Every structure is written in structure tokens, then in C-alpha cells.
């Protein structure tokens, strides 16, 4: 298929993409927080109406508070958490981070999709994971720790 913008489309697909400066600053803070297992700076890089999508829940959780609670807890649940690869979306405001970790002795692989606004604040954070037994272990442990509080943040 040919379009009037075929050359521009080809360039956009193959060209390296740079993350917007404000998003890059927030991503650096995120990586520092993960490395230190310290989510205390998460509030400064999260939009108040942020949305969090968990690999173990069908509906999203809404609010920065829900995102902070979930991510702070998961950083306690995961062992040996490591990011391996990072890709920037063509919009310059979104990243995909590939990770591995263990949950109660089960190895998992996953992807964090993070979208930032123009000020560099996280507006969406979605996690996808595999294999099933690792996701089930995560669901059980997160449920044990947050089962009474986190569901109240669903829409």
C-alpha cells in the first residue's frame, strides 16, 4: 500500500525515538526508586488521576494513591527484580520496560508499559507478566497483603 506520506511513515517506523525530556527525568527517578526499593519519590512523578492496570485484575485501579500502594507492595513481594530492555514509543511519552523477578521462588518475566504526560508525570502504568504460575503466586501474595484495601480503588 502506498500513501502520500510513505517516506515519512517509513522514517517514523525505523527512526530512533527519544523520550520527552520531562518523561525522561521521571523515568530516571523511577529507575532510582526501583534500584533502591524505595518508592518515596513516586508521588512527585505520578499524576493524581493515574491509572494502574495489574496483571491479576481485570479492571484498572484509579488514582495516584492506588498506583503507589500497588507498586510499593509489589517491590516488597518481588525478589531479584531486574529491568533488561527499554523501548520508547513513537509518541515520545511512553516506554516499555522488560523485567524479570521471582515471586515466592517462581521466576517471572514481564513488561511495564508507562505513559507520561507533558509534565513527565505517570498517567498510566500497566503490567503484563508470565508464566501463569508466577502470576498466580503474585496474585496470592498481593491479595494477602492488599486484598482488603486495593479493590476500593477500582472504577
User: 93-146 pLDDT, tens per residue?
Assistant: 999 999 999 999 999 999 999 999 999 999 999 999 999 999 999 999 988 988
pLDDT at position 98 is 98
pLDDT at position 2 is 42
- For residue 21, pLDDT over 80 is answered with yes
Are 83 and 75 spatial neighbours (Cβ–Cβ below 8 Å)?
A: no
Spell out the SS3 assignment of 41-89. CHHHHEEEEEEEECCCCCCCEECHHHHHHHHHHHHHHCEEEEEEEEEEC
pLDDT at position 155 is 61
Q: Rounded to an integer, what distance in angstroms lies between the CA atom of residue 115 and that of residue 75?
A: 20
Q: Strand, coil or helix: what is 126?
A: strand
Q: What is the mean pLDDT of residues 69-74?
A: 93
Largest alpha-carbon pair distance within the chain? 56
HSE-up (13 A, CA, CB side) for residue 89: 12
Q: What does the CA dihedral 95, 99, 47, 138 come to, rounded to 10 degrees?
A: 150
Q: Rounded to an integer, what distance in angstroms lies between the CA atom of residue 29 and that of residue 43?
A: 11
Q: Rounded to an integer, what distance in angstroms lies between the CA atom of residue 142 and that of residue 73?
A: 7
Which set of grid coordinates corresponds to residue 87? 523501548
**Binning pLDDT at 50, 70 and 90, where does residue 69 land?**
very high
**Binning pLDDT at 50, 70 and 90, where does residue 1 land?**
very low
What is the per-residue pLDDT across 29-64, written as a single tens digit (0 to 9) for each?
999 999 999 999 999 999 999 999 999 888 898 899
Nearest to 70 by CA among 132, 124, 145: 145
Q: What does the CA dihedral 22, 26, 27, 28 come to, rounded to 10 degrees?
A: 100
Amino acid at each position: 500500500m502506498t500513501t502520500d506520506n510513505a517516506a515519512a511513515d517509513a522514517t517514523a517506523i525505523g527512526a530512533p525515538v527519544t523520550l520527552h525530556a520531562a518523561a525522561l527525568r521521571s523515568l530516571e527517578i523511577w529507575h532510582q526508586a526501583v534500584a533502591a526499593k524505595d518508592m518515596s519519590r513516586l508521588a512527585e512523578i505520578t499524576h493524581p488521576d493515574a491509572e494502574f492496570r495489574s496483571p491479576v485484575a481485570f479492571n484498572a485501579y484509579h488514582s495516584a494513591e492506588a498506583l503507589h500502594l500497588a507498586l510499593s507492595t509489589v517491590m516488597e513481594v518481588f525478589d531479584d527484580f531486574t529491568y533488561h530492555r527499554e523501548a520508547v514509543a513513537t509518541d515520545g511519552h511512553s516506554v516499555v520496560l522488560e523485567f524479570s523477578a521471582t515471586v515466592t521462588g517462581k521466576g517471572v518475566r514481564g513488561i511495564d508499559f508507562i505513559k507520561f504526560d507533558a509534565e513527565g508525570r505517570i498517567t498510566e502504568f500497566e503490567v503484563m507478566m508470565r508464566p501463569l504460575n508466577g502470576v498466580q503466586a503474585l496474585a496470592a501474595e498481593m491479595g494477602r497483603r492488599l486484598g482488603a484495601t486495593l479493590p476500593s480503588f477500582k472504577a
